[in-house]
Amino acid sequence: MSTAYTVRVAEDPADREACFAVRKEVFVVEQGVDEDIEYDAYDAVAVHVLAVREDGVPLGTGRLLFGEAAAAKTGGDRAVGSLGRLAVSRAARGLGVGAA
């Protein structure tokens, strides 16, 4: 597997679906999280990022909540973002995808 990858904001529907597919693979399939609680209303307002291999294969994802959404989710300050739902596919672990 090539270790070259890029990270981008998931702005189009295909990228968002890829983000959700990585989350399902990691959280629902591997970790046994109930799919009903994996996806929530915050997904609609979050900034999602997607890491993809050069050939387009999704490697990882994360979501950023900010403003009112972050404050509501964490009970914290609106000026502080909240990074969550960070998931890296098993094949990509150790490549620095999560840090990127």
DSSP labels, the chain: ----EEEEE--SHHHHHHHHHHHIIIIIIIT---HHHHS-GGGGTSEEEEEEETTS-EEEEEEEE-HHHHHHHHSS-TTS-EEEEEEE-GGGTTTTTTT-
Topology of the domain covering 5-92: Aminopeptidase (3.40.630)
User: What is the pLDDT confidence band of residue 86, given thresholds at 50, 70 and 90?
Assistant: very high
pLDDT over 70 (residue 2): no
pLDDT over 80 (residue 77): no
- With tokens 């999280």, the residue in question is 33
Q: What is the model's pLDDT at position 82? A: 83
| Residues in CB range of 40: below 8 A, 6 or more apart | none
Q: What is the model's pLDDT at position 74? A: 75
Domain extent listing, the chain: 5-92
Average pLDDT over the chain, rounded to an integer: 91
